[in-house]
Amino acid sequence: VPPPGVPMKLPRYARVNTLKIDTETLVERLRRPKRARTEEENGGGEPQRRGVIRGALPAFTIDEHVPDLLVFPSGTDLHNHPSVRGSQVILQDKSSCLPACVLLGAVPCEPTQKKGDKKKNTIPADAPLEYVLDACAAPGNKTTQLAALGAPHGIKLLAVERDSKRAGVLSQRVQTLNAAKHINVMNTDFFDLTSDVRDAVQGILLDPSCSASGVVSRVDINLKQHRDFLNKGAKPVEDENLLDENDLVDQEENTKDAKDKKPSVSRVEKLAQVQRKLLTHALLSFPACRRVVYSTCSVHEEENEGVVRAVLSDERIAKKGWTLTNIMPRTWRTRGWKSKDDTLPLDFTIRCDPAVDKTNGFYVSRFDRDVVETPAETVA
Ligand code: SAM
């Protein structure tokens, strides 16, 4: 852990977009040294010196938890790499890759012991979810990851975004990333979905607007270079949540946030209020839904365990059979904060801690139930 005042350096994570290329081929391509250009290839100029490796990338590894995630040393600038420009690789922090993996069971998890069980259940690894809703979807990192993970099982996704500009960004991204076959984008509010849609949903990813207080600013990224890049065309965005945490606008916003604009208590409480409302809706209004993942890139308890605590103390939700599922392997040490008075297994939920997990600060929880309802039982 760096001393106070010295920002944390995180690895650079790059998710392979398996809708465009398989990980093995890409890894082989990235690791293959480029040969030096010949005189002819060099436009008649000096041939490159033998042994010169052009644009060689530093050594990278494959993440131990998240499928298809490459881990580069801190400071590796991949923004201009052909695989990133060609959308074969997406720059996405490891923490932000976890919700989709947890929802689709693509990451190993601890067995969940339920009350009254003699033997331990394993995480419900039943039939794959066929119809999944991303309730707060733009700019689409998690939606497109869900598409990539679920493609082998023919997953269908509905990606909902209420902000029209963001929905536009999301649609564009879905096209560019080759995910349109799996994702239907809808510019609407999560609360306004028709009953036809609500009746069909089997799983929900809920990653709502949050304080983004977990996003670590990365000093090792060349801010100026990216400011120039953005000035060439991309318009800075007003909301830190529009772009993913690797976007430099976001990084700068959050650096400012950390230095002088700590989110106020009332702002966090307001966000938590909306988050509780959204999660309550997810757990009450989708009769065929059997799995919900709730996540934030916040480190505030109010937006994380506080929201989970509040919704599970709602009798209507408990009655519908929703319980927390133990996620990630036992070796994942940074767990949801459980106080002495908590009767809920909040340690089944996880946190990501920059110092321990080498990711942004993040929170992920998963709710499951075995029995689904007939539509009439659902709260409208
Ligand atoms: N999951 C996204 C990703 O990984 O790229 C990031 C989501 S961002 C944290 C939250 C998004 O939810 C924002 O774009 C916001 O406009 C949208 N949103 C918030 N409330 C919503 C609602 N009630 N219905 C639909 N979208 C909503």
pLDDT tens track for 202-233: 999 999 999 999 988 543 333 443 444 444 44
Mean pLDDT of the chain: 83
Select from 3.40.50.150, 3.30.300.30, 3.40.50.2000, 3.40.50.11740 the CATH code of 94-377: 3.40.50.150
Question: Is the model's pLDDT at 379 over the cut of 70?
Answer: no
Beta bridge pairs of residue 159: 134, 185
Q: For residue 84, what pLDDT is reported?
A: 95
Angle between helices 248-259 and 223-231 (to 10 degrees): 120
Maximum Cα–Cα distance across the chain: 78
- Would you say residue 258 has pLDDT above 80? no
Ligand 1 centroid to residue 209 C-alpha, Å: 6
Q: What pLDDT was estimated at residue 251?
A: 36
DSSP structural state of residue 184:
E
Task: Find, among 322, 103, 287, 320, the residue nearest to 197 by Cα.
Answer: 287
pLDDT level of residue 155 (50, 70, 90 thresholds): very high
Predicted local distance difference test score (pLDDT) of residue 243: 39
Name the residue ranges covered by the structural domains of the chain.
94-377
Q: What is the pLDDT of residue 113?
A: 61
Average the pLDDT over 198-205 and give the result: 98
Under 8 Å between Cβ of 292 and 367: yes
Region of poorest pLDDT, from 76-85, 128-137, 219-228, 330-339: 219-228
| Whether the CB of 190 sits within 6 Å of ligand 1 | yes
Residue 180 pLDDT > 80: yes
Query: Given a cut of 50, is residue 239 above it in pLDDT?
Result: no
- What confidence score (pLDDT) does residue 16 get? 98
Is residue 358 within 8 Å of residue 218, measured between CB atoms? no
Kindly name the residue from 97, 210, 297, 352 that is annotated as catalytic.
297
Q: Which atom of ligand 1 is nearest to the CA of 160?
A: 25
* Residue pair 203/99 in contact by the 8 Å Cβ criterion: no
Structure tokens at 29: 């391509």
pLDDT at 34: 65
pLDDT band at 7 (very low <50, low <70, confident <90, very high): low
Mean pLDDT within 52-74: 85
Among candidates 196, 183, 153, 162, which has minimal Cα distance to 287?
Answer: 196
Q: What is the pLDDT of residue 100?
A: 98
Whole-angstrom CA distances from 70 to 12, 101, 146, 207, 362 are 8, 15, 17, 23, 19
- How many other CB atoms are found less than 10 A from the CB of residue 233? 6
Residue 227 near ligand 1, beta carbon < 6 Å: no
The residue written with tokens 């990235």 in the block is 30
pLDDT at 300 over 90: yes
Between these two residues, 232 and 263, which has the higher pLDDT value?
263
Overall average pLDDT of the 254-263 stretch: 49
Please give the C-alpha separations between residue 168 and each of 185, 263, 282, in angstroms, as whole numbers.
9, 28, 24
Q: Which residue has the higher pLDDT, 366 or 53?
A: 366
CB environment 276-303: b (16+ within 10 A), e (fewer): bebbbbbbbbbbbbbbbbbbbbbbbbbb
Confidence of residue 109 (pLDDT cuts 50, 70, 90): confident
Q: Is there a contact between 323 and 289 (Cβ–Cβ < 8 Å)?
A: no
Residue 135, annotated ligand binder?
no
161 is annotated as contributing to ligand binding: yes
Ligand 1 center to residue 148 CA distance, Å? 20
Residue 108 has pLDDT above 90, yes or no: no
Can you tell me the distance from the alpha carbon of 149 to that of 170, in angstroms, rounded to the nearest whole number? 18
Q: Of 302, 306, 307, 308, which Cα lies nearest the Cα of 269?
A: 302
Distance CA 189, CA 136 (A): 9
Query: What confidence score (pLDDT) does residue 255 get?
Result: 43
pLDDT at 73: 94
- Percent of the chain whose predicted confidence (pLDDT) is above 70: 73
Q: Is 121 helix (H, G, I), strand (E, B) or coil?
A: strand
- pLDDT of 302: 97
Cβ(145) – ligand 1 distance below 6 Å: no
**pLDDT for the residue numbered 245:** 37
- Tell me, in angstroms, the distance from the centre of ligand 1 to residue 54's CA: 40
| Tokens matching residue 45 | 């100029």
What pLDDT is recorded for position 373? 78
CA distance 182 to 157: 6
Most confident of 3-7, 104-108, 115-119, 221-225: 104-108
Q: Averaged over 113-118, what is the pLDDT?
A: 57
The predicted pLDDT at position 126 comes to: 62
Q: Averaged over 259-266, what is the pLDDT?
A: 63
Cα(300)–Cα(55) distance, rounded to whole angstroms? 41
Ligand 1 within 6 A of CB of 64: no
Interface pTM, i.e. ipTM: 0.99
